[in-house]
Amino acid sequence: YTRASKKEESQVLFRISAQPESVVMGQKLVLRAKFYTSDSRFRLQNMTVPNLPAFRVIDKKGPTFGREKINGINYEYSEWMIELFAQRPGVHCIPALSAEYEYP
């Protein structure tokens, strides 16, 4: 975890979502990771997906690219989608994903 400066906080976002929020064994879960930037000088270097031993990964897509306005700020984004299925019963936590970026 690296703390961003106040200026970087408004220029870079990394959002992770899971749909649905909980699943039963054999049910599909879709993870989405979006790296947003409002300044094209920020360059995404790497996006890391953790080991997911309780899940079977079916498909990985991305990156796809787009634009979105959030809180009045225009962002460009790169998005990855990972489809997986729970393969073991029980309560499982999905570890954090991470994004590394560079700013000249």
Residue 6: per-residue pLDDT: 52
pLDDT of 10: 66
Contacts of residue 53, Cβ cutoff 8 Å, sequence gap at least 6: none
Instruction: Record the tokens describing residue 7, joined without a space.
Output: 């200026």
b/e string for 75-98 if b means 16 or more Cβ within 10 A? bebbbbbbebebeeeeeeebeeee
pLDDT of residue 2: 42
Per-residue pLDDT at 9? 53
Q: Which pLDDT value is given to residue 1?
A: 38
pLDDT at position 104, please?
Answer: 79
- Helix (H/G/I), strand (E/B), else coil: 29: strand
Query: In which residue ranges of the chain is pLDDT below 70?
Result: 1-10
Residue 3: per-residue pLDDT: 47
Question: What was the pLDDT predicted at 29?
Answer: 93
